[in-house]
Amino acid sequence: MRIRLEKRLTPSRIMQVATPIASVLLTMLLGAVIFELIGFDGPDAIWQTFITPIVAPYKWVDVLTKAAPLIIIAQGLSLGNQAKIWNIGAEGQYVIGALAGAGAAFAMPADAPSFIAIPAMIVAGILGGMAWAAIPALLKTRLRVSEVLSTLMFVYIAMQVLNYLIGGPWKDPNGHNFPQTPPFSPTQTLPHVIPGTVIPPGFVIAGVLTLLFWLLTARSVYGFSVRTVGAAPSAARYGGFDASRTVWSTLMISGGMAGLAGILEAMSQLGQINLGFPSGYGFTAIIVSFLGRLHPIGVFLAGLILAVTYVGGQVAQTAVHVPEATAGIFQATMLFFILASDILVRYRLRIVRDPRRTAPVGVPA
Amino acid sequence: MKVEAPPRLELVGVSKSFPGVRANDNVNLKVRPGEVHALLGENGAGKSTLVKMIYGILAPDEGQMLFDGAPMRVHNPRAARRLGIGMVFQHFSLFEALTVLENIALGLDARLSQRELLAEFHKVLDAYQLKLDPRRVVSTLSVGERQRIEIVRALLLNPRLLIMDEPTSVLTPQEVEQLFETLRRLAASGCSILYISHKLHEIVALCDTATILRGGKVVGAADPKRETSRSMAEMMIGGNLKEITKPAARAFGPPKLETQGLSLPKPTEFGVALRDVALCVRAGEIFGVAGVAGNGQNELLAALSGEALATGAEAVILSGEPVGRLSVTERRNLGLCAVPEERHGHAAVSEFSLTDNAALTGRDRMEFVSFGLIDPSKATSYAAEVIGAFTVKATGPGALAGSLSGGNLQKFIMGREILQRPEALVVCQPTWGVDAGAAAAIHQAIVDLAARGSAVLVISQDLDELLTLCDTLAVINLGRLSGPMKVGEASIEEIGLLMGGVHGDPSGTTEMTEHLHAHPA
């Protein structure tokens, strides 16, 4: 007896949905075992990480606040991933987007009315993220530099730009010498949550974007061109789709989404930009994109799940005293399982008996 | 006949299944020593699966294989080679940037010094009167010469059974004759040859016995010298051959698709540059472009379809309008449609449904799109229309293109273009790897399209196909297109020589070597 992988005639739709769910469940199971083995209360750690944020209403704001940037960034990344254009540098575009939005805020009078200030900052944020993604796009289309490397390297450059600005030209004069920008004025900020609800403004935007991205990928000629470029570049050229235009557009869209998430985070949660601003959403969004199977609705749900692990990781730290890295470990385990289980979409497992040749009874034809 | 000698190869009840298909079903086969044995069947009949099992690439599910009367166990090709089984594949495995001798050294199991190998190499060349320069770089060789490397590689093992998989599909008529000479000499020396083909006249010319496969089963054995091509063909396809019906006397309309001085640089290092291609296809005309693979056919198709832009707009003219600088979509909207050679990943996306593949090229001409959004119901009904009109065997418009057989996918692709009612249609290898039934349907569709007043350009390596289908013929060689010839007036010899171009005959080979070694590798 042995297990054999057999190619499916068509990819399994059930497995496309089942494997992300199984990945989350397996992560919980493996996490419980590992934490138990290294001396923590494993089941409790899992409960606090994965369940408490869902069942405790006072955690909902936190979950939705974390989910918003993850979903916004991951929608953009998923589009690029469908074209097999891998933007690994959303974290950098997120930071530069926030800085560009902040720059717009500092350039305008502090008492400029909200209906001008807020759209101006949001547009600047989107443009900032796009500009940062434009450099890898240029390098890829002109010099065939792999975007996997260039986008990632530009994350570290973005960090240095951040350090320079908040420690130098944009340093808050009243900030007791901390590396941070001055706070945005009241007309330049968004509330934490929409008054009277637990819903942050960024989450509403994430929801609207999810529907737009669904329309874009499922129905539009553009979404079709992106999928075709990813599946078969020669067929895309034959069908009239231009590969380098796709490189540009997907990197612009994913960069713009990361920039949007960055400025929304800055203007609704922090009210300024400081050293702690880069929080890893740009990297976690890569996991969200794959856990959501690059599908806008899936990405929306996956963003919520990853947000739960962020919030739950903090809960588990105080309740079960697990280390700070816990949430990161769970997120990475989830990515591992989703990538590993991908094979089940295209292949099925079959248990076969040892192939036994039929006894050669000489009956020549 | 020597009765006492055991067959060189004997298969008893060999079966092999893949998910969804029984590729070989209870196959019995006997190959005698020194015999040239044809394995005849359409694409998908199970010929390749069968020889892959003999050569140790696949393991049979059931049945027994005997070599010289003893059960053989070949778990891999190396074991098969040790037994004395050699194989020359349809697709060569050669490194373009290495020399002939380096390629041969890489493919050998035994470790020989360069000098020993060279001595062995020349021994084989002398014994079979083959011509091949061991120092030439593979990328400078013609397809026939490349095949000779594979043959020499197999002969160095002193095989007792040589398997040839569709060896002539890429050769000029003259190269085919040379190959047959070599194979006859080899058979005379006692080596058995298992010759896979679907070309009947070759089997009549070369083989002693033929075993015919259909749907994975042996459906008959024949003596090719006594059967007619037609009777073997009918055994092969299991039915009557359909003749294509062509309107006898036809007048052609005004020029629809023209090129003038169309030149394009090589798209990649091993691509072919187009040089000053001029052609003219009139309304109602079927214009054939013959040539050996890799002489610029794909480049010509790309230049016409718009996948590669010409340097000047006037280089490609459609119905009097210069389109050389227009994109694929713009040309398509003006009525210039194309079908490239490679079905999977070029003419169609294997992992997409037929509906999506219908939208790939049909979305604008068939008006699926409004406000940048594709109407899925229109795409689905167009896909269904193509499936119905061209009798494509598929579960429906939702079926993945990759799940269709080659013939059915090709019918779908051809149908998708033809139902768009193009002014001019350019097709490359329309029946490559397609079963005879589907090929006849595709040929008829091409004839019908031309009869309705479209200009059709057929690029093919299959000379028989072009001669039955086309009104006018030109030959492409090294990116140059010959002048047009009327079919029926041109001789096969002349076409063959044009196909061979400068690298068909030995004197021309040296000429080209010198030309290419202007930049020595």
Is the model's pTM score more than 0.90?
Answer: no
Q: Is residue B315 scored above 90 in pLDDT? A: yes
Instruction: Supply the pLDDT for residue A35.
Output: 87
Instruction: Supply the pLDDT for residue B41.
Output: 83
| Whether residues B356 and B419 fall in one domain | yes
| Whether residues B206 and B261 fall in one domain | no
d(CA B395, CA A38): 54
Inspect the interface and report whether the beta carbons of B19 and A238 lie closer than 8 Å: no
Residue B207 near residue B37 (C-beta atoms within 8 A)? yes
| Whether residues B325 and B427 fall in one domain | yes
Instruction: Supply the pLDDT for residue B501.
Output: 66
Inspect the interface and report whether the beta carbons of A10 and B356 lie closer than 8 Å: no
Average pLDDT on B466-472 reads: 90
Q: Is residue B331 scored above 50 in pLDDT? A: yes
Give the range of the structural domain holding residue B391, as residue numbers without chain letter.
255-490
Tell me the pLDDT band of A354, cut-offs 50, 70 and 90. Answer: low
Residue B469 lies in a domain: yes
Single-letter code of the amino acid located at B278: A
| Whether residues B170 and B263 fall in one domain | no
Chain A interface residues facing chain B, Cβ-Cβ under 8 Å? 6-11, 215, 219-222, 224, 227-228, 231-232, 234-235, 237-240, 355, 357-358, 360, 362-365
Q: Is residue B249 scored above 50 in pLDDT? A: yes
Average pLDDT on B46-59 reads: 89
| Among the ranges given (A181-195, B3-17, B386-400), the one the predictor scored with the smallest mean pLDDT | B3-17
Instruction: Supply the pLDDT for residue B146.
Output: 86
Residue B277 near residue B482 (C-beta atoms within 8 A)? no
Select from B183, B206, B237 the last residue of a domain: B237
Inspect the interface and report whether the beta carbons of B360 and A231 lie closer than 8 Å: no
Domains of chain A: 14-348 (1.10.3470)
Q: Is residue B155 scored above 90 in pLDDT? A: no
| Among the ranges given (A124-128, A215-219, B103-107, B420-424), the one the predictor scored with the smallest mean pLDDT | B103-107
pLDDT, tens digit, 9 for 90 and up, residues B178-223: 889 889 998 999 999 999 887 778 888 889 999 988 888 898 888 8
**Percentage above 70 pLDDT, chain B:** 93
Tell me the pLDDT band of B503, cut-offs 50, 70 and 90. Answer: very low
The pair of three-digit structure tokens given for residue B398, joined into one six-digit string:
């939702």
Residue B519 lies in a domain: no
Cβ pairs A/B, distance under 8 A: 87
| Whether residues B318 and B454 fall in one domain | yes
Instruction: Supply the pLDDT for residue B195.
Output: 92
Instruction: Supply the pLDDT for residue B90.
Output: 76
| Whether residues B84 and B195 fall in one domain | yes
Tell me the pLDDT band of A6, cut-offs 50, 70 and 90. Answer: confident
CATH number at residue B486: 3.40.50.300
| Whether residues B182 and B262 fall in one domain | no
| Whether residues B266 and B413 fall in one domain | yes
d(CA A355, CA B160): 29
| Whether residues B437 and B354 fall in one domain | yes
Single-letter code of the amino acid located at B444: Q
Place of tokens 């079905």: B343
Q: Is residue B174 scored above 90 in pLDDT? A: no
Report the domain count for chain B. 2
Tell me the pLDDT band of B520, cut-offs 50, 70 and 90. Answer: very low
Residue B30 lies in a domain: yes
A161's enclosing H/E stretch is helix A147-167
Select from B237, B264, B294 the last residue of a domain: B237
- β B373-374/B217-222 pair status: unpaired
Most B CBs within 10 Å, among A2, A229, A238, A294, to test the B interface: A238
Residue B442 lies in a domain: yes
Residue A304 near residue A288 (C-beta atoms within 8 A)? no
Q: Does B60 touch chain A (CB under 8 A)?
A: yes
Q: Is residue A142 scored above 90 in pLDDT? A: yes
d(CA B222, CA B200): 12
Instruction: Supply the pLDDT for residue A328.
Output: 86
Q: Is residue B227 scored above 50 in pLDDT? A: yes
Count of other CB atoms within 10 angstroms of residue B93: 10
Most A CBs within 10 Å, among B351, B354, B371, B428, to test the A interface: B351
Tell me the pLDDT band of B241, cut-offs 50, 70 and 90. Answer: low
Residue B10 near residue B205 (C-beta atoms within 8 A)? no
Nearest to A161 by CA among A258, A257, A92, A259: A92
pLDDT, tens digit, 9 for 90 and up, residues A73-86: 999 999 999 999 99
3-state secondary structure of A167: helix
| Whether residues B387 and B461 fall in one domain | yes
Residue B2 lies in a domain: no
Looking at per-residue confidence, does B405 or B361 come out higher? B361
Residue B517 lies in a domain: no
Residues in chain B closer than 8 A to A362 (CB atoms)? 12
Instruction: Supply the pLDDT for residue B426.
Output: 97
pLDDT, tens digit, 9 for 90 and up, residues A259-293: 999 999 999 989 999 998 998 999 999 999 999 99
Give the helix ranges, DSSP H, for A83-113. 90-107
Q: Is residue B393 scored above 70 in pLDDT? A: yes
pLDDT, tens digit, 9 for 90 and up, residues A308-340: 998 998 888 888 888 888 888 888 898 899 888
d(CA B317, CA B259): 6
Of the candidates A11, A220, A238, the beta carbon closest to that of B372 is on A220
Residue B520 lies in a domain: no
| Whether residues B165 and B203 fall in one domain | yes
Instruction: Supply the pLDDT for residue B273.
Output: 92
Place of tokens 């023209």: B258
Average pLDDT on A14-37 reads: 89
Contacts of B413 (CB under 8 A, 6+ apart): B339, B343, B347, B348, B357
Residue B246 lies in a domain: no
| Whether residues B307 and B170 fall in one domain | no
Residues in chain B closer than 8 A to A349 (CB atoms)? none
Average pLDDT on B54-60 reads: 90
* Most confidently predicted of A53-57, A157-161, B33-37: A157-161
Instruction: Supply the pLDDT for residue B242.
Output: 64
Q: For chain B, what's the residue count?
A: 521
